């Protein structure tokens, strides 16, 4: 079962910095993420979601490939590619994996303007090594699926190692 963690940061860039750090740690096999998304609340109060994977684009690429392959078999490769890309894009746009978009937007509304939040679903983690890397960014825990004690410990690590502005 995956663990959900949502952390707020005091500027619009820090959540993306932490997401990139987690991506690096994932390449080093220290963490396995199911999903990672950034929510930014700009100075006008508008919420912007930044998904790690664009499902519409991925679906279109995959659908285009399979459509081209099947279209080639029936001697209409361009039609097959076009139909495949369209159906793949629709399928990608309709599928929602990972953290629920509505949940992220709702929690994003509670942020102050010019701030950001990172939403991650963790499959596996080496806690001590990952916390050493991400604690330097600080942050405020918004929501988790951790126990109360573990959530308090996470906030304490972020508070003690975080960069204070």
- Measured between alpha carbons, how far is 114 from 100 in angstroms, rounded to an integer? 22
Is 0.85 surpassed by the pTM of this model? no
Does the pLDDT of residue 9 top 70, yes or no?
yes
Mean pLDDT in residue range 12-40: 92
Edge-first strand order for the sheet with 3-9 is 47-51, 31-41, 115-125, 3-9, 140-144
**What does residue 145 show for φ and ψ, rounded to 5 degrees?**
-105, 15
- Measured between alpha carbons, how far is 23 from 66 in angstroms, rounded to an integer? 29
Helix and strand numbers (H, E) in the chain are 6, 5
List, for residues 83-141, the tens digit of each pLDDT value.
566 565 555 544 445 677 888 888 888 899 999 999 998 899 998 899 999 999 999 99
pLDDT bucket at 71, cuts 50 / 70 / 90: low
pLDDT at 80: 59
What domains sit in the chain, N to C, each tagged with a CATH number?
Answer: 3-52+101-161 (3.40.1520), 55-94 (no CATH)
């Amino acid at each position: 079962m995956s663990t959900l963690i949502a952390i707020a940061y005091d500027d619009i860039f820090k959540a993306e910095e932490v997401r990139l750090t987690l991506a690096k740690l994932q390449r080093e096999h220290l963490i396995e993420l199911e999903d990672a998304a950034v929510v930014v609340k700009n100075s006008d109060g508008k919420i912007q979601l930044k998904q790690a994977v664009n499902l519409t684009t991925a679906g279109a690429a995959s659908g285009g490939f399979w459509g081209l392959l099947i279209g080639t078999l029936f001697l209409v490769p361009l039609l097959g590619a076009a139909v495949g890309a369209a159906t793949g894009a629709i399928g990608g746009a309709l599928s929602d994996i990972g953290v629920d978009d509505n949940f992220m937007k709702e929690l994003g509304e509670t942020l102050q303007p010019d701030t950001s939040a990172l939403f991650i679903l963790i499959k596996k983690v080496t806690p001590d090594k990952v916390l050493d890397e991400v604690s330097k960014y600080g942050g405020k825990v918004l929501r988790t699926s951790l126990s109360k004690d573990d959530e308090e410990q996470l906030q304490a690590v972020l508070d003690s190692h975080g960069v204070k502005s």
